[in-house]
């Protein structure tokens, strides 16, 4: 078995393609690519190895130690979470090589990744700030009406940036007041809509979207002024612009609205299991068992507890 140095780029590309097929998010795949590139640079500089099959457990232990002192972009040592993500990328790569028959044994198998510390959500808005953000767009304009519909949806449902961007017309069910979103791992889930969000979506679909689409026939629900689907940068830029107009701090981002939605529901007394299902989390912690909640129950709890969706 051998994995010579001149084959490393090809092996990395094959592994990244496998991650894509398995449904990992593009940002995750990009991060793995960066982490593996850094790992190869470490091997070239610190070990001079010419073949991955020559690496021992001691070599990988030395890499783990090196990570403890490696500088981050700010110049400070890598935090525990960054070390954990880099080791996860490397260990996944070696497991892939073993499964492909390119290595007999996995030299990284004995490594124990540092315990992941989930960061506390940042940028949570209070009720007054949310209202100011929602009211920022001029809904008498096409773009203003579009932005109001997006902001209402993000706050009311807590869906992820990517889930909002990939939302298609066929995913909307206005009569049953719910949408189907595709989350991480290409898993679909039904998400309830409140009456206020439903109203703004319908108004956008009837008055603004046809003007944005023009002669095009895009599937995306939300469109740019040129009639194309939103990119992640477009969405972040829009939310920041509206936040600035509302006089809110810079931390008002699409993801902040997701955290805000969950926090406000929890503060209002919603069951943690409902929030888990609404946000599309497989589990709330490594010790908590996932509990399924039916879509009919989701609608009832959402209508009862979400501050924006009562009615």
pLDDT single digits (tens) 212-250: 999 888 899 999 999 999 888 889 999 999 999 999 977
* Residue 292 annotated as catalytic: no
Mean pLDDT for the chain overall: 83
CATH number 3.90.1570.10 given to 127-305: no
User: Model's pTM, two decimal places?
Assistant: 0.59
Residues of the chain with CATH 1.10.150: 5-99
Whole-number pLDDT of residue 284: 46
* Residue 155 annotated as catalytic: no
Tokens of 137: 């767009």
Question: Of the listed 148, 242, 258, 308, which one is catalytic?
Answer: 258
* Residue 258 annotated as catalytic: yes
**Neighbour count for residue 79 (Cβ, 10 Å):** 13
Whole-number pLDDT of residue 213: 94
Task: Reply yes or no on whether the pLDDT at 287 is more than 50.
Answer: no
Burial class (CB in 10 A: 0-12, 13-18, 19+), 6: exposed
144-158, 188-202, 295-309: least confidently modelled range = 295-309
Residues of the chain with CATH 1.10.443.10: 127-305
Whole-number pLDDT of residue 291: 29
Question: What does 178-240 look like in DSSP terms, one character per residue?
Answer: EEEEE-GGG-EEEEE--HHHHHHHHHIIIIIHHHHHTT----BSSB-TTS-BPPHHHHHHHHH
Whole-number pLDDT of residue 311: 47
* Residue 306 annotated as catalytic: no
Whole-number pLDDT of residue 207: 97
* Residue 264 annotated as catalytic: no
pLDDT digits (tens, 9 = 90+) for 87-122: 999 999 999 999 988 888 888 887 776 665 555 556
The domain 5-99 is placed in CATH, from the list 3.40.50, 1.10.1200, 1.10.287, 1.10.150, at 1.10.150
């Amino acid at each position: 078995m051998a994995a010579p140095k001149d084959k490393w780029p090809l092996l990395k590309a094959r592994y990244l393609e496998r991650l894509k097929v398995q449904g990992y998010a593009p940002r995750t795949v990009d991060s793995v690519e960066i982490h593996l590139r850094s790992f190869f640079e470490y091997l070239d500089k610190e070990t001079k190895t010419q073949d991955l099959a020559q690496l021992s457990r001691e070599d990988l232990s030395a890499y783990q130690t090196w990570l403890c002192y490696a500088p981050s972009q700010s110049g400070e040592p890598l935090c525990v979470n960054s070390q954990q993500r880099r080791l996860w990328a490397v260990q996944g790569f070696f497991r892939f090589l073993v499964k492909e028959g390119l290595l007999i044994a996995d030299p990284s198998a004995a490594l124990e990744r540092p315990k992941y510390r989930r960061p506390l959500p940042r940028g949570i808005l209070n009720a007054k700030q949310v209202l100011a953000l929602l009211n920022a767009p001029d809904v008498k304009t096409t773009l203003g009406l579009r932005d109001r519909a997006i902001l209402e949806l993000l706050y009311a449902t807590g869906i992820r940036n990517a889930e909002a961007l990939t939302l298609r017309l066929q995913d909307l069910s206005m009569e049953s007041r719910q949408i189907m979103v595709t989350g991480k791992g290409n898993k679909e889930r039904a998400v309830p809509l409140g009456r206020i969000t439903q109203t703004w979506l319908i108004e956008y679909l009837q008055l603004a979207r046809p003007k944005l689409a023009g002669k095009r026939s895009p599937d995306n629900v939300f469109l740019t002024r040129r009639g194309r689907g939103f990119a992640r940068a477009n969405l972040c830029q829009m939310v920041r612009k509206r936040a600035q107009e509302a006089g809110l701090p810079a931390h008002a981002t699409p993801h902040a609205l997701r955290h805000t939605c969950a926090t406000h529901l929890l503060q209002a007394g919603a069951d943690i299991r409902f929030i888990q299902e609404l946000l599309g989390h497989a589990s709330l912690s490594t010790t908590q068992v996932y509990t399924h909640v039916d879509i009919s129950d989701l609608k009832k709890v959402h209508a009862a507890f979400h501050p924006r969706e009562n009615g």
